[in-house]
Amino acid sequence: MLDDRKLAVLRAIVEDYVSTNEPVGSKALAERHNLNVSPATIRNDMAVLEEQGYIAQPHTSAGRVPTDKGYRLFVDRLSQVKPLSSAERRAIETFLVGAVDLDDVVTRTVRLLAQLTRQVAVVQYPTLTRSTVRHVELVPLSERRVMLVLITNTGRVEQRVIELHEVADDARIAHLRAVLNACLDGCGLSSVPELVADLPERVPAEDRPMAATILSVLLETLVERHDEKIVFAGAANLAGADFSSGLRDVLEALEEQVVLMRLLGETSPDTPAALTVRIGSENPYSGLRGTSIVATGYGSGDRQLARLGVLGPTRMDYPVTMGAVRAVARYVSQILAAS
Amino acid sequence: MLDDRKLAVLRAIVEDYVSTNEPVGSKALAERHNLNVSPATIRNDMAVLEEQGYIAQPHTSAGRVPTDKGYRLFVDRLSQVKPLSSAERRAIETFLVGAVDLDDVVTRTVRLLAQLTRQVAVVQYPTLTRSTVRHVELVPLSERRVMLVLITNTGRVEQRVIELHEVADDARIAHLRAVLNACLDGCGLSSVPELVADLPERVPAEDRPMAATILSVLLETLVERHDEKIVFAGAANLAGADFSSGLRDVLEALEEQVVLMRLLGETSPDTPAALTVRIGSENPYSGLRGTSIVATGYGSGDRQLARLGVLGPTRMDYPVTMGAVRAVARYVSQILAAS
DNA sequence: ACTTGGCACTCGGGAACACAGAGTGCCAGA
DNA sequence: TCTGGCACTCTGTGTTCCCGAGTGCCAAGT
């Protein structure tokens, strides 16, 4: 159906269009790429490609532009992820080394990725649910108030101030803390609810109301933060590009956690480190026709903790972008594994 | 020099230009505002205003547009901060009530402010240096690693993982924690360095290297985070407006913590709750000609903890914007004081 | 001394128009 | 199956023209 030369033509169209941002015509193609055929032949191929929906012309007698379907074929079969230059690798290292805490890692990562790809970078904070409890701390603030601090193995820290209905002295708090830690230390967050289910029964009767209050806040914390935190950077890189749906829609989407969440997508369980590419209309949000997302999972070792990626115009350099996303994801995974 | 009528003309020009975004001419002015004079008279006044630099014409035979100096005079002498409608007040309350922690308060605030003003909102996290220590926690992670958690009275939590040069058992850590808390609880962060200066001498000799390591990280934390965290929201609101310096510059500035920091400015010590307005070229960053900043301090009680504000085109509705910024700052201050 | 109506002048922006250039589709011949 | 030739169709750009909004100035009025 599509012989090798037609595929080569499609590849050439995508490459030229990405680099020039102008519809590409048969003559230019014949010159710039050594396809060893005449423009007329290319025109015939183009007619076929157009008929099949891989390319389109903005108007009669203009060059051709790849369609979403065309980019899809290009990404799937006609391109190879481009590895980073050694200079870029060094940049990544120097940029990420020296991050002091999780916040810092995420912030640096998102900026790095934005700078590297010259597009908008999006990074999801490591998921709470898949991490494990490293420590639970109860800090008495005043007679009737304690602060609950939950530290996970990914370095994430959640805190809540809890109002108690009774006065709680330090000793009782300390005891409860000990019980909590004994019970939860090292356990996965998802198993916390069952683990603490019978906990009130294991404390002195007079402490049970307090324990119940604290537990309910703890469980609430786990649930509430299920909608994960996501940050982005590099919005300035959108300024040059023009989107079919207006820049405004894109910026609005970026500020909607929920939308971003769905954009990054889910890590496929079988190939966790695979790159996900969503092109134009493939993505689930109407304001983002005209943009593509390249994303992947990251996390220490075999555990995928969260996802990161970039968002840019459909007309983007996929091989380079995919290379950068993959490389950054690997480095961040290393950093997280080491800490 | 400028009689009342000339000031009225300037006010009318600013108001009309803000609402229409088109240069305003003498005839339109005479009609829309009841100044009770003829267009010719207004033209004379305009000539004077232009000579003095309060207004300008984009080209000969176009209407007049306020200059930065004109907006300045308008803000200082010709306008009054406009209080919010009761619907808006209610919106603020429902939006901010229910925030679970400091992160949440800040996030909600910045979004609220962006939505309310339809501009870019900027909020600085409460300053570390002016808050006080509520609790210091040392959590053993493994034999040679502890996590230092610093909780302030503003609800801010800083954490660092510390690598020790020796094995530290729980008892020794617990002791050090007790000493630290006894020493620092309730003290201002700025006084921490002097308070812990002689601390190594107050622990058993064999613990001193460990104490020194931990202290150095603690002090480092205080210094490093001196460059405060700032967040913004509502970048989508910039999409419609056009800036002299291009949208790109503005977005870039927004992603530079340092620039944002300087934009928000310093709270004046004598009138901490005063609104600061920086108009166009008055602000310190060249990429932001064409934008104005309305900012103010916020914080619990008499203590100003940090600043918040909005950024928009110089052509903005100052009275309304100032009203919104002031109102939000007050509500946030209340929320923080209560927690 | 200020205000007003009149008037000539200026300039930007939109409409109408022509034109060059790039690109296409198709066809006949190699 | 490829190629060169050719007629055709667009867009984008440059030019011209004109309308209208707005100005500055001046002389007359209050």
Cβ contacts of B321 within 8 Å, gap of 6 or more = B117, B119, B294, B310, B312
Q: Tell me whether residues B160 and A100 touch, CB distance under 8 A.
A: yes
For residue B206, pLDDT over 90 is answered with no
DSSP H or E segment with residue B121: strand B120-124
Listed residue (B250, B246, B244) closest to B263, CA to CA: B250
Per-residue pLDDT reduced to its tens digit, B9-60: 999 999 999 999 999 999 999 988 988 899 999 999 999 999 999 999 998 8
Q: How confident is the model at residue B157 (pLDDT cuts 50, 70, 90)?
A: confident
Candidates A157, A159, A232: best to mutate against B (most CBs of B within 10 A) is A159
Higher-scoring residue by pLDDT: B169, A277: A277
Q: Which portions of chain A are predicted below pLDDT 50?
A: none
Cβ of B160 under 8 Å from any chain A Cβ?
A: yes
CB contact A258 to B (< 8 Å): no
B97: left (phi over 0), alpha (psi -120 to 50) or beta: beta
Query: What is the distance in angstroms between the Cα of A187 and the nearest Cα belonging to chain B?
Result: 14
**Strand D footprint at Cβ < 7 Å?**
A 5, 36-38, 40-41, 44, 59-62; B 23-28, 39-40, 43, 46-47, 50, 57, 60-64
Please give the Cα distance from B266 to B270 (Å, whole number).
12
Contact flag, residue A43 CB and nucleic strand C, below 7 A:
yes
Please tell me whether any atom of strand C lies within 7 Å of the Cβ of B57. Answer: no
Q: How many angstroms separate the CA atoms of A283 and A290, rounded?
A: 10
Our CA-based measurement puts residue A83 at a distance from the nearest CA of chain B, in whole angstroms, of 28
Highest average pLDDT, of B119-123, B185-189, B270-274, comes from B119-123
Q: How far apart are CA A181 and CA A199, in angstroms?
A: 11
| pLDDT value at residue A226 | 53
Q: What is the pLDDT of residue B29?
A: 92
Closest residue in chain B to residue A141, using alpha carbons only = B134
CB contact under 8 A, A247 and B254: no
Tokens of A313: 């115009």
pLDDT in the model for residue B117 = 97
- What whole-number distance in Å separates Cα of residue B55 and Cα of residue B77? 16
* Among A62-76, A233-247, B165-179, B213-227, the range of highest mean pLDDT: A62-76
CA distance B59 to chain A (A): 28
- Round to whole Å and give the CA distance between A113 and A322: 11
Is residue B294 classed as helix, strand or coil in its secondary structure?
strand
**Least confident window among A180-184, B18-22, B145-149, B196-200:** B196-200
Q: Do B100 and A224 touch (CB under 8 A)?
A: yes
Rounded CA-CA distance B183/A246 in Å is 57
For B89-131, how does the pLDDT look when each residue is reduced to its tens digit (9 = 90+)?
A: 999 999 998 888 888 899 999 999 999 999 999 999 887 777 8
Is residue B294 within 8 A of residue B81, CB to CB? The reply is: no
H helices present in chain B, as ranges? 4-20, 26-32, 39-51, 68-73, 86-96, 102-117, 170-184, 192-195, 208-224, 246-254, 257-264, 318-338
Outline where chain A has alpha helix (H): 4-20, 26-32, 39-51, 68-73, 86-96, 102-117, 170-184, 192-195, 208-224, 246-254, 257-264, 318-338
Q: What is the pLDDT of residues A78-124, one digit of tens each?
A: 999 999 999 999 999 999 988 888 888 999 999 999 999 999 999 99
Instruction: Assign B5 a pLDDT band (cuts: 50, 70, 90).
Output: very high
pLDDT of residue B227: 57
Q: Given an 8 Å threshold on Cβ–Cβ distance, is B155 in contact with A155?
A: no
Contact (Cβ atoms closer than 8 angstroms) between residue B144 and residue B163? yes
Q: Which residues contact A172 (CB under 8 A, 6 or more apart)?
A: A207, A210
Q: How far apart are CA A250 and CA A312, in angstroms?
A: 10
| The pair of three-digit structure tokens given for residue B268, joined into one six-digit string | 């004046």
B236 Cβ nearer than 7 Å to chain C strand = no
Please say if the pLDDT value at position B230 is more than 60: yes
Which nucleotide is closest to the Cα of A35 by its C1'?
A: D2
Cβ pairs A/B, distance under 8 A: 87
Alpha carbon distances (Å) from A94 to A98, A102, A302: 8, 17, 25
The verdict on B134 touching A (C-beta cutoff 8 Å) is yes
CA–C1' gap, B144 and C18, in angstroms: 83
Q: Radius of gyration of chain B from Cα atoms? A: 26
> What is the distance between the alpha carbons of residues B103 and A158, in angstroms, rounded to a whole number?
10
Contacts for B322 with CB less than 8 Å, ≥ 6 apart: B75, B81, B82, B275, B277, B294
| B255 vs A160, A235, A249: nearest CB | A235
Maximum mean pLDDT: which of B24-28, B187-191, B266-270: B24-28
Residue A233 token pair:
């950077």
Residue B302 has a pLDDT of: 60
Please answer yes or no on whether B157 and A161 come within 8 Å at the CB atom. no
CA B66 to C1' C4, in angstroms, rounded, equals 26
**Any A CB within 8 A of B171 CB:** no
* Closest residue to D8 (CA, C1′): A61
CA B61 – C1' D24 distance (Å)?
Answer: 10
In angstroms, how far is D29 C1' from B18 CA?
36
Protein-proximal positions, strand C, CB < 7 A: 3-6, 9-12, 21-27
Q: Which residue has the tokens 């007619």?
A: A47
Residue B112's φ and ψ, nearest 5 degrees, are -55, -50
Q: Residue B254: is its pLDDT beyond 70?
A: yes
pTM: 0.87
Question: Which residues from 46-85 of A have any strand C atom under 7 Å from their CB?
Answer: 46-47, 50, 57, 60-64
Judged by DSSP in three states, A332 sits in: helix
